[in-house]
Amino acid sequence: MSRIKRPRFTTAKINSSWVVLDSSDSVISTHTSLAEAQQASYGYELNKTSPLSAPESPMSAWFIGPGSENADVFMGFIKHILQDYLHWRQNYFPTDPTIIDNRHKREHQLWTDHLRGQLEYLLKELKAHFPTFSPRYLAHMVSEQSMPAILGYFAALLYNPNNVTSEAAPVTVDMELAVGKMIAQMLGYTPEESWVHLCSGGTLANIEALWVARSVAFVPLIAQEFCTQKQLTLLIPTANHTTCEITRLSPKILLQLPAKIACSIPERIQQRLVGAKNYTKKDAHKCWNDFVEQSSYNIAARGLTSVLAKFGVQPKIFVSEAAHYSFRKAVNLLGLGRDQLELVPVDHRYRLDTKALTHRVEQTLKDSEQFVLAVVGILGTTEEGAVDPVHDILGLQRTVSASLNQSFWLHVDAAWGGYFRTVFPINEPILNQVLLPKDMETGIEFVSQDITWNDPDVIAAFTKLHEADSVTVDPHKMGYIPYPAGICAFRDARIKSLISESPPYISEGVNDQDRQDNKVGPYIIEGSKPGAAAAACWLNHTTIPLNPNGHGKLVLSTILGAQKLYWYLKEHHRAFLWYESLSKGEKSPPFTFFPINVPDTNVLCFFVYLKNQNNNLDFLNQLNESLYHRFSIQNESGDHQLAYMQEFFVSRTILKTSNLGLLARELGVLETEIKQKGIFVLRSTVMNPFYLMAQEQKINYLRDFVVSLHQETKAILQSLKERIPKP
């Protein structure tokens, strides 16, 4: 039985309102903005009966809760899903004979008992997992999952769809494409012109983005070869907006065309074949595709080494030295080699140093033996949560385009920071102030400090995200979606035709549009992948909209929480943390906490060091490592430890970036030593949704966390007092 083709819905402006129209041009719903109308139309495409815009609700409704406060609602939904699924099975050809009868069931008992025992063992072992749902967990980039995301994943998991094609996942492929449009809109892309899909996570998305960048870079060379052999005249714009005949351009100019122009070339050639050579559209399409397969510049067929040898240039990819290790994997897998990955220094805020980037990019573009394949900006580095100045990278792109007639692919790794885009759009800087509260137990007023998030460079980076050629986003991080759920987003959907690999066992649609709509697998690196992830994202984003009044509220609360933790750490010695020792006539503590920077997002790195001391780096690293072990249940023996008695959790890293001179001077250690050995720092991810909500119940988890840090540091110093360096 064939599937019924769903009706197409369109948006239109009538007077001052935006409306959704069905295929007969009847008004289905009315909205105040184009974005709202577009989201509603995406919902209708999935046979929804109401607009996608969800009713406004408090964040406390979105999660099970750290103490299972919403357990009754959650259990009700889980039972409903199970009952609905089991009834679906029972009602599919109910006249079929019963395969597993009572006789079989009686024979199951021993095996069922064994299964029950193994299940109980599994459940017991899982209690050694970290309590990532709790506000007491401030360690890695994982937290509470939203209730809609869990329910969506659980419901689709039972059906086990494979989202490689609609033939294996007739429902969840549609959901994935709808989620792609939602994410495109969140990023500022035009949903109808972009290509956004789900993958396993940020690592694969970063690899895929560079794979596509590599493929796009060589399309103009294939086109030049085509036009030369076919004696076809083709005028194309170059990076500085001058129009040139393609056969007269140098290989380096062609390799450095803007991505949008490179992606348009196949279409331009086919139009010329139709107009100048009297080809039919079908014949023009076939002529181009047949040539691409045989072209000496087809790296998919000929290999990268063979193609690069034709004109003797090497590609370079520029990325911050704080970048995720997935980029080292990418250049390895793509055959580029790690020597072609240029690590750019970071500044004192752990953001990519644009002056250093500018110098290196301009040098490379002027070098006849090199070209810039891609520049990567990061919105939320893995260690520090720092936001690279994407707006400045775009400024560099415009500068070199105008002066050198060369451009480059811009990829943004927003695996962590992508969902921060839901705080926008904005017309003014964000000035959300939260006064730090009075300590209820001691009556000591904390240092007066307004908590804000209004860094103009951070805001500019996010608001320019839509100009990037590709973006990585991880729903399983700040989207609060279960693993695995990553996003790879491309501004120009035409890249699909440049990378397509169609397997023979997946049938084609009746026309090009159907081929674009009903498949995912031919255009991505992965093959099989869970439709449950698409269902989780879809249910989450249709109930918690990706805008400032929905998901943005959640993101902003975590940003303010991180800013608050920063000030608790920064000013702890001036406030409530040492009132106890002062009350006993003791001196103030000999140590202090040092946050390495004001957080750009909601990740904060810090360390403890001794005041008024000639700090010994080895001792400080041991001190901070000892403090880390007090806030973790991991041990070297590999034995599982239960988390019930562990009050708080942190993660850790060792900083070895090139900007550690400031820290060396702060600590009074040699700069060469700190760069060689690195500094052991504690790392807190403040992404739990309940920190600000908990204060309504007089629970201040962030303050209590710093109190605990303070107390444990005193205990460790007492145990190490013989080794404390002398002033």
Q: What is the largest CA-CA distance in the chain?
A: 96
Torsion of CA 74, 77, 78, 82, to 10 degrees: 170
DSSP state of 8: P
Name residues whose C-beta falls within 8 Å of residue 717's C-beta, 6 or more positions apart in sequence: 590, 591, 623, 724
Task: State the Cα–Cα distance between residues 547 and 36, nearest whole angstrom.
Answer: 10
Q: Is 241 left (phi over 0), alpha (psi -120 to 50) or beta?
A: left
Q: Please give the Cα distance from 629 to 649 (Å, whole number).
A: 9
Average pLDDT in the 289-293 region? 94
Q: Look at residue 187 and tell me whether its pLDDT is greater than 80.
A: yes
Rounded distance between C-alpha atoms, residue 681 and residue 650, angstroms: 10
Single-letter amino acid, residue 58: P
The pLDDT value recorded for residue 171 is 94
Average pLDDT of the segment spanning 266-285: 94
Position 642 scores a pLDDT of: 73
Asked if residue 133 has pLDDT above 80, the reply is yes
pLDDT at res. 406: 97
b/e sequence 684-712, b meaning 16+ C-beta within 10 Å: bbbbbbbbbbbbeeeebbbbbbbbebbeb
Could you tell me which residue, 500 or 468, shows the higher pLDDT? Answer: 468
Is beta strand 10-14 parallel, antiparallel or unpaired with respect to 17-21?
antiparallel
Residue-wise pLDDT for 228-262, tens only, equals: 999 999 999 999 999 999 999 999 999 999 999 99
DSSP helix/strand/coil, 616: coil
Mean pLDDT of 174-189: 95
Lowest mean pLDDT segment, chosen from 111-120, 258-267, 509-518, 676-685: 509-518
Average of per-residue pLDDT across 54-66: 89
Residue 590 or 159, more confident: 159
Residue 137: per-residue pLDDT: 96
What tokens does 275 get? 């107009």
Q: Which residues of 547-574 are buried (b: 16+ CB within 10 A; e: fewer)?
A: bbebbbbbbbbbbbbbbbbbbbbbbbee
CA distance 210 to 381: 18
Lowest mean pLDDT, pick from 38-42, 105-109, 219-223, 713-717:
38-42
- Residue 413 identity (one-letter amino acid): D
The rounded distance, in Å, linking the Cα atoms of 532 and 611 is 52
Q: Count how many residues are written for the chain.
A: 727
Please give the mean pLDDT across all residues of the chain: 87
Q: What pLDDT does residue 433 have? A: 64
Using alpha carbons, select from 714, 710, 704, 713 the residue that is nearest to residue 134: 704
- Mean pLDDT, residues 554-580: 79
Token pair of 686, please?
Answer: 């403040």
Question: Which pLDDT score, from 0 to 100, does residue 509 have?
Answer: 41
Task: Round to whole Å and give the CA distance between 561 and 687.
Answer: 8
478 CB-side CA count, 13 A: 32
Per DSSP, the residues of 317-376 read: EEEETT--THHHHHHHHTT--GGGEEEEPB-TTSSB-HHHHHHHHHHHHH-TTEEEEEEE
Residue 47, pLDDT above cutoff 70: no
- C-alpha 456/C-alpha 415 separation (Å) is 21
- What pLDDT shows up at residue 229? 96
| DSSP codes joined into one string, 119-180 | HHHHHHHHTTS--TTSTTEESSS--PPBHHHHHHHHHHHHH--BTTBTTT-TTHHHHHHHHH
Residue 430 in this model has a pLDDT that exceeds 70: no
Distance separating alpha carbons of residues 360 and 586, to the nearest angstrom: 55
pLDDT tens-digit series, residues 602-618: 999 999 988 866 678 99
Residue 466 has pLDDT above 90, yes or no: yes
CB 202 within 8 A of CB 486: yes
Average pLDDT (306-335) is 93
Grade residue 440 by pLDDT with cuts at 50, 70 and 90.
very low
In percent, the amount of the chain with pLDDT more than 70 equals 84
d(CA 474, CA 263): 26
**331-350 pLDDT, tens digit each:** 999 999 999 999 999 999 99
pLDDT for 719 equals 86
Residue 668 has pLDDT above 70, yes or no: yes
**pLDDT tens-place string over residues 496-524:** 999 887 654 444 443 444 444 567 888 99
Is the pLDDT at 584 greater than 60, yes or no?
A: no
Encoding tokens for residue 505? Answer: 């066992």
Give the pLDDT of residue 2. Answer: 38
pLDDT of 397 higher than 90 = yes
In DSSP terms, 138 is beta-bridged to 650
Q: Which one has a higher pLDDT value, 390 or 581? A: 390
At residue 644, the pLDDT reads 81
Mean pLDDT, residues 302-306: 91
Check whether 190 has a pLDDT greater than 80.
Answer: yes
* Average pLDDT score over residue span 131-138: 95
Question: Is the distance from CB of 430 to CB of 453 less than 8 angstroms?
Answer: yes
Cis-peptide, bond into residue 522, ω within 30° of zero: no
Res 203: pLDDT: 96
Quickly state the pLDDT bin for 10 (edges 50, 70, 90): confident
